[in-house]
Amino acid sequence: MAVTRSIELRTEIPGPRSREILERKERVVADPLSVFLPVVVDEARGATLTDVDGNTFIDFTGGVGCLNVGHSHPQVVAAAQEQLARFSHTDFTIVPYEVYVTLAERLCELAPVQNAKAAFFNAGAEAIENAVKFSRAYTKRPAVIGFEGGFHGRTLLAVSLTSKTHPYKAGLGPFAPEVYRVPFPNAYRGPSADEALAALERALVTQVAAETVAAIVIEPVQGEGGFIVAPPEFLQGVRRLCDEHGIVLVADEVQTGFGRTGRTWGIEHSGVEPDLVTIAKSIAAGLPLSAVVGKAEIMDAPGDSAIGGTYVGNPVAQAAALAVLDVFEEEDINARAAAIGETIQARMLAWQERWDAIGDVRGLGAMLAIELVEDRETKEPAANVASAVVEAAAERGLLLLKCGIYSNCIRVLTPLVISDAELDEALEAWEQALDASLG
Ligand SMILES: Cc1ncc(COP(=O)(O)O)c(C=O)c1O
């Protein structure tokens, strides 16, 4: 029987048509919107993406983690089309619609929080901004604590919490006041969970009084920061401090959420119940939708109409999100994430044995990354090597994405619906790219 290959390269990367469109882009699109992969997409299905030159790639970037159910899932497309044909916008707080309420019901049921209520927004950053608003209104306190290496978006408060100077912050201040930052545990580079917890406790003495802190915002696995897993005992310690001092614990599940870690929520692995969760990315398979879901008393705290926005809770995106939830149940996406995670991790560990440049392999479920270093002892970050591997992989039909505060990690954000055959092909292409770059 003939084996169907997913990767099909017809031209060099970028092909002539992609190159031509990218040249036009240079003339009319603002320079900061630089492009990471020079392939212009024509269409995408499941775990593959075809560019305007007819090259087909396996897409491990997954729209930066938005496509856990895959590109253009037929159920998602049908739900969005059907909703778009009926109505696309009213502003829920002017003329409400049922799909908003139904999605809130389903997410409150699914959320890792008891007695939850929900509110919808557009982007992850907006969910973060609003999680802080809910926390401030509830606690009547101003301060927010985030973590080194954290990423929470690019709007003013979100970027104030975000912790990577280049490219996200340099030259863009002043930032929002009353944002404090403490170390995040890192099993590879330190500090340990105990040291990070001690630093948080010390910060409540040296930096900001506990009784003025509204919220602690934490990613259960840092995403842009390098797929760094918060150990369960650390999250449990943060929960304890929040309880002791009446601080709202916000789990930012924008990248960890919706099955990426092999469970619906990243925080589930720790047994910790947060007070609020922020959700975006894969919730609506690439349509802009985000949410804050959390304890009703906190969600109800802001005054009437203090939360909202013209586009928040778009019905087309919400119809897509309901379809995403169905697909998760029908196709058991969480189990698939855990299974492909095991396959990928085993391969990464074999690569680490073979190449000294792979300093660390880490992650949870299918949220996995390798960290590239110049030297195993000094752990000097090797961002250029990571870039070379990404480029070599694209030339072999696999789209990869970097991450990490030193931009020296390569992460997996593959659609979780990827087939075994596609996964095999992708890992083979990645291995060849490592071979070409590392020798
Ligand atoms: C953990 C986390 N929070 C928040 C955001 C911001 O989301 P958005 O880009 O939709 O504003 C991101 C985006 O990558 C993220 O990974």
| Ligand 1 atom 7 nearest Cα | 124
* Predicted confidence pLDDT, tens digits, the chain (439 residues): 556 789 999 999 999 999 999 999 999 999 999 999 999 999 999 999 999 999 999 999 999 999 999 999 999 999 999 999 999 999 999 999 999 999 999 999 999 999 999 999 999 999 999 999 999 999 999 999 999 999 999 999 999 999 999 999 999 999 999 999 999 999 999 999 999 999 999 999 999 999 999 999 999 999 999 999 999 999 999 999 999 999 999 999 999 998 999 999 999 999 999 999 999 999 999 999 999 999 999 999 999 999 999 999 999 999 999 999 999 999 999 999 999 999 999 999 999 999 999 999 999 999 999 999 999 999 999 999 999 999 999 999 999 999 999 999 999 999 999 999 999 999 999 999 999 999 8
Task: Give the 3-state DSSP-derived string for the chain, with helices as H, strands as E and coil as C.
Answer: CCCCCCCECCCCCCCHHHHHHHHHHHHHCCCCCCCCCCCCEEEEEECEEEECCCCEEEECCHHHHCCCCCECCHHHHHHHHHHHHHCCCCCCCCCCCHHHHHHHHHHHHHCCCCCEEEEEECCHHHHHHHHHHHHHHHHCCCEEEEECCCCCCCCHHHHHHCCCCCCCCCCCCCCCCCEEEECCCCCCCCCCHHHHHHHHHHHHHHCCCHHHEEEEEECCEECCCCCEECCHHHHHHHHHHHHHHCCEEEEECCCCCCCCCCCCCHHHHHCCCCCEEEECHHHHCCCCCEEEEEEHHHHCCCCCCCCCCCCCCCHHHHHHHHHHHHHHHHCCHHHHHHHHHHHHHHHHHHHHHHCCCEEEEEEECCEEEEEEECCCCCCCECHHHHHHHHHHHHHCCEECEEECCCCCEEECCCCCCCCHHHHHHHHHHHHHHHHHHHC
Q: Is the CB of 157 under 6 A from ligand 1?
A: no
Closest ligand 1 atom number to CA of residue 252: 1
Distance of CA 56 from the midpoint of ligand 1 (Å): 27
What per-residue confidence (pLDDT) applies to 439? 85
Q: Is the CB of 288 under 6 A from ligand 1?
A: no
Q: Is the CB of 223 under 6 A from ligand 1?
A: yes
List the domains of the chain with CATH numbers: 62-69+332-438 (3.90.1150.10), 74-330 (3.40.640.10)
CB atoms within 10 A of CB 50: 17
What per-residue confidence (pLDDT) applies to 3? 62
Closest ligand 1 atom number to CA of residue 253: 1
Q: Is the CB of 124 under 6 A from ligand 1?
A: yes
Q: Is the CB of 225 under 6 A from ligand 1?
A: no
CA dihedral 382, 383, 384, 388 (to 10 degrees): 100
Q: Is the CB of 161 under 6 A from ligand 1?
A: no
Burial per residue of 180-215, b for 16 or more beta-carbon CB atoms within 10 angstroms, e otherwise: bbbbbbbeebebebeebbebbeebbeeebebeebbb
Residue 210 vs residues 147, 242, 244: alpha-carbon distances, Å? 16, 9, 9
* CA pair distance 151, 146, nearest whole angstrom: 9
Q: Is the CB of 219 under 6 A from ligand 1?
A: yes
Q: Is the CB of 228 under 6 A from ligand 1?
A: no
Q: Is the CB of 150 under 6 A from ligand 1?
A: no
pTM of the model: 0.98
Q: Is the CB of 254 under 6 A from ligand 1?
A: yes
Distance of CA 11 from the midpoint of ligand 1 (Å): 34
Q: Quick check: 124 and 254 in contact, CB under 8 A?
A: yes
* CA pair distance 11, 38, nearest whole angstrom: 13
Closest ligand 1 atom number to CA of residue 125: 11
Distance of CA 227 from the midpoint of ligand 1 (Å): 13
| Ligand 1 atom 3 nearest Cα | 152
| Ligand 1 atom 4 nearest Cα | 152
State which of 121, 126, 129, 152 you would mutate to test the pocket of ligand 1, scoring each by most atoms of that ligand within 8 A of its C-beta: 152
* CA pair distance 122, 285, nearest whole angstrom: 13
Q: Is the CB of 433 under 6 A from ligand 1?
A: no
State which of 67, 130, 151, 159 you would mutate to test the pocket of ligand 1, scoring each by most atoms of that ligand within 8 A of its C-beta: 151
CB atoms within 10 A of CB 156: 15
Closest CA to 105 of 118, 93, 92, 120: 118
